[in-house]
Structures are given as structure tokens and as C-alpha cells.
């Protein structure tokens, strides 16, 4: 415990650049990959994530993503303090968001806030650097068209990994690839939108005022329906959220059908992270469109 406390002290000095006293430490989570703690300090309450991966790139990119969201989203985003590596541990230090219960306008505020975020645009689909979704690399090379970006930077890398790791067979690999040529016709043409990129219920938390706060992004400029579709994949978003979003930034007709196309990416991500239980859902979508 003493060595871990020394790590926390070193993190605070590395990130804040001045002596900061720790008042208390509370474990938030300890998963197979990351450990998360609440640090009560003389600089206030701080949230610290750490791991022992060989590189600190995941946390550096998460910090960049939070910073970009903070610039463009009207919703609360945790303020970033620092990310780095101390000896064999990587860290991300951000503002602690004290939790609460959703207020009466929670879902409306979330819908309006996401719509405003999606109004931030760029000339091309992609981002100026690659990043991660969970711990999986996410390529962000720039493309003029959404169809080519989605096929080459999202679907194909995850599909190839699944095949390389023995999760899918060659005949299904080739069948899946047939959807690439259909994307232009299936998905409406829109300007690139700044996306959260990993928008499921676990990455939206409630602050002490009952308002929504976005965490754990996988940002890039993409098709805005990606965020909306992902929000439907695992439940947790109420109808008032979608109504509020459409009040500000209406979706093109047919989104409910297209959501399956968009969710091929998060389903492939989950296949690669958690295994074969996600393969039937992927096959169902491919059968629907091929």
C-alpha cells in the first residue's frame, strides 16, 4: 500500500507540477485492465485511472478526446489534468464528477447537447491522430466520403482482427466485405460530425445537479448516426433523448433501419474484446443486407 500511495503522490506532482497532499483514497473499480480511484486532495476531488500496459497512448488519447469534447459540447465533460507514465504504470488524472440522480430535464438536455456536439464539423471524415475504442486501436485516416472511411478505417480493421484471431471463418469474412460497396446507397450523405464515438449508457453519468456528463470518448469526425445507433445497442436511453435530438438536428428518414449498419462496428469491437457471443448479431445484420 505504501508503494501505491507513493505512486499517487508522484502522479499528483507530475500532473499538477506542485506539491499536493492526499487526504484520502477510495477504490472505485479494479478490472482486468484498469484500476480507478477517487483521490481527495488539497486541490479537490480527483479521479485517477491507471494500468500496466506497455504504452500510455490509450490515456493520452483519452485526454485529447475529453479536451476536444470539452471545447465543443455544451454538456459537462470532466476537466483534464494530466496523463503520463511513472515507472511501469500509466495514469490519467481528471476532475471527479460527484454523482446524483437524473433531474426532470436529464434526457432532453442530453439530446440537445449531443445534437449541438454533432454540429461541430470538419472538411473530412477522420481525425488528426489515431486513438482507441476501449483498448483496441482505432484508425482515423482522413477520407472524403463516409462510406470509404467506415469501410477502411472502422469495419475492415476490426473484421480482419476477428479473422486473424480465429473468431470468424474466411467465407464469412468475404461475405461481410460485400457490404462495403452498398454503404454509399444505404447511408445518407452528410457533413462530418464530431462524435463521442463510444456512446452507450455506461459512458453517460449523472452529476450532482442531476445533469448528464460524457466520459470515456473515442472521438473522431464521422457520421452522426453512429452515436445515435450505438446509444440504442445496449439500451439505457429514453425516448425523450431521441425526441430532443430531433428537435435540434433532425435525422433523415429511415434511421431505425440504418442503425443496424452503424452498429456493425461496435458489435465487431465487442466480438474482439469479449468473444463469440456477439457473432450471431453481426451475422443477422449481414444476412439482412447481403
pLDDT at 8 over 50: yes
Report how far residue 126's alpha carbon sits from residue 124's, in angstroms, rounded to the nearest whole number. 6
CA-based nearest residue to 115, from 107, 103, 125: 107
Please tell me which residue in 109, 198, 227, 260 is annotated as part of the active site: 198
- What average pLDDT does range 113-130 have in this prediction? 98
**8 Å CB contact between 79 and 95:** yes
How much is the pTM?
A: 0.95
Grid coordinates representing 76 are 459537462
- Residues 6+ positions from 250 with CB-CB distance below 8 Å: none
Give me the count of residues in the chain: 290
Cα–Cα distances in angstroms (integers) from residue 102 to residues 49, 134, 182, 210, 230, in the given order: 25, 26, 41, 4, 21
pLDDT at 55 over 90: no
Report how far residue 54's alpha carbon sits from residue 89's, in angstroms, rounded to the nearest whole number. 9
**8 Å CB contact between 219 and 196:** yes
Least confident of 4-8, 164-168, 283-287: 4-8
Domain boundaries, the chain: 2-95, 106-289
CA-based nearest residue to 109, from 74, 79, 78: 74
Whether 198 is catalytic:
yes
Q: What's residue 236's pLDDT?
A: 75
- What average pLDDT does range 96-113 have in this prediction? 97
pLDDT at 169 over 60: yes
Q: What's residue 3's pLDDT?
A: 67
Q: Which CATH superfamily is domain 106-289 in?
A: Aminoglycoside phosphotransferase (APH), C-terminal lobe (3.90.1200.10)
Share of the chain above pLDDT 70, in %: 99
Q: What's residue 32's pLDDT?
A: 76
- Residues 6+ positions from 266 with CB-CB distance below 8 Å: 198, 200, 230, 233
Q: Are strands 193-195 and 131-133 parallel, antiparallel or unpaired?
A: unpaired
Whether CATH 3.30.420.40 fits 2-95: no
pLDDT band at 1 (very low <50, low <70, confident <90, very high): very low
- Please provide residue 115's backbone torsions phi and psi, each rounded to the nearest 5 degrees: -60, -40
pLDDT at 2 over 60: no
Read off the pLDDT of residues 258-272 as tens digits, 9 standing for 90 and up: 999 999 999 999 999
pLDDT at 11 over 50: yes
Amino acid at each position: 500500500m505504501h508503494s501505491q500511495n507513493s505512486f499517487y503522490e508522484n502522479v499528483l506532482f507530475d500532473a499538477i507540477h506542485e506539491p499536493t497532499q492526499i487526504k484520502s483514497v477510495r477504490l472505485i473499480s479494479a478490472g482486468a485492465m484498469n484500476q480507478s480511484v477517487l483521490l481527495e486532495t488539497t486541490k479537490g476531488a480527483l479521479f485517477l485511472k491507471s494500468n500496466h500496459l506497455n504504452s500510455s497512448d490509450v490515456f493520452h488519447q483519452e485526454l485529447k478526446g475529453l479536451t476536444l469534447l470539452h471545447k465543443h459540447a455544451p454538456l459537462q465533460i470532466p476537466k483534464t489534468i494530466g496523463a503520463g507514465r511513472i515507472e511501469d504504470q500509466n495514469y490519467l488524472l481528471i476532475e471527479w464528477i460527484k454523482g446524483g440522480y437524473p433531474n426532470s430535464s436529464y434526457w432532453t438536455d442530453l439530446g440537445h447537447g449531443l445534437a449541438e456536439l454533432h454540429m461541430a464539423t470538419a472538411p473530412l471524415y477522420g481525425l488528426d491522430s489515431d486513438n482507441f475504442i476501449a483498448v483496441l486501436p482505432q484508425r482515423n485516416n482522413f477520407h472524403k466520403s463516409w462510406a470509404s472511411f467506415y469501410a477502411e478505417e472502422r469495419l475492415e480493421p476490426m473484421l480482419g482482427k476477428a479473422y486473424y484471431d480465429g473468431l470468424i471463418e474466411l467465407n464469412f469474412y468475404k461475405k461481410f466485405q460485400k457490404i462495403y460497396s452498398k454503404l454509399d446507397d444505404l447511408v445518407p450523405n452528410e457533413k462530418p460530425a464530431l462524435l463521442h464515438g463510444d456512446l452507450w449508457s455506461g459512458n453517460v453519468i449523472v452529476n450532482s445537479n442531476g445533469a448528464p456528463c460524457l466520459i470515456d470518448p473515442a472521438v473522431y469526425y464521422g457520421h452522426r448516426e453512429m452515436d445515435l445507433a450505438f446509444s440504442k445497442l445496449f439500451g439505457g436511453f429514453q425516448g425523450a433523448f431521441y425526441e430532443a435530438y430531433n428537435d435540434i438536428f433532425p435525422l433523415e428518414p429511415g434511421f431505425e433501419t440504418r442503425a443496424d449498419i452503424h452498429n456493425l462496428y461496435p458489435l465487431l469491437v465487442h466480438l474482439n474484446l469479449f468473444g463469440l457471443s456477439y457473432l450471431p448479431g453481426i451475422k443477422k445484420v449481414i444476412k439482412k443486407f447481403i
